[in-house]
Amino acid sequence: MGYKTPNQSEHYTNAIVLDNSVIMRWLFNDGSKTDQHYAKNALKALQNQQLLALAPPIWIYESAFVTSYYVKKKIINSAAANQQLNMLFGLINIIHMQQTPADLLEVSLTHNISSYDAAYLLLAQAQQCPLATLDKKMKQAHLNNDGLIFSA
């Protein structure tokens, strides 16, 4: 686990790109019952099918930001939050792609998604693997590019 920079032709087998919207449900079990069910099924698929969990580097910042919100709201203490984030960091493979800001901007504008979300989308496209996300715009953008969406 950890940081990886694949070359242009390198593909990870049996991989799935996980959006932060899914991963954070594992820790905080919030959102709708449908969202919780989807996230739990993604986790089960990782365990049962021995999928390789991938995320772009932006995930590191997103996960720390969301977790800090829950610490400030006293839903989790900082020691438990650190432990949980370290556990997740050991599970997720951070894949650094050779994307430029212009690449992210183009995808963001084309699909009306954030540049953060574009990083997940481009990773899933480059790796030709399913994307697990709770974000409807990201799902639609990936489907519009003939991408696979993890289904619960």
pLDDT tens digits along 6-58: 555 577 888 999 999 999 999 998 889 999 999 999 999 988 888 899 999 99
- Hey, is 100 helix, strand or coil? coil
The CB density around residue 50, as the number of other CB atoms within 10 Å, is 8
Distance separating alpha carbons of residues 9 and 49, to the nearest angstrom: 24
Q: Tokens representing 23?
A: 């991963």
Q: Which pLDDT does position 83 carry in this prediction?
A: 94
The pTM of the full predicted model, rounded to 2 decimals, is 0.89
Specify the fold of 2-144. Answer: Rossmann fold (3.40.50)
Q: Using one digit for the tens of pLDDT, what is the confidence trace for 89-143?
A: 988 999 988 889 999 999 999 999 999 999 999 999 999 999 999 999 999 999 9
CA distances to 19, 22, 44, 53, 75 from 37, in Å: 15, 10, 10, 18, 21
Per residue in 56-81, pLDDT (tens digit) is 999 999 999 999 999 999 999 999 99
For residue 39, give every residue at least 6 positions away whose Cβ sits within 8 Å of its Cβ, in sequence order, or none: 22, 23, 25, 26, 31, 134
For the sheet containing 15-18, what is the strand order?
Answer: 2-4, 93-95, 52-55, 15-18, 131-132
Between β-strands 15-18 and 52-55, what pairing exists: parallel, antiparallel or unpaired?
parallel
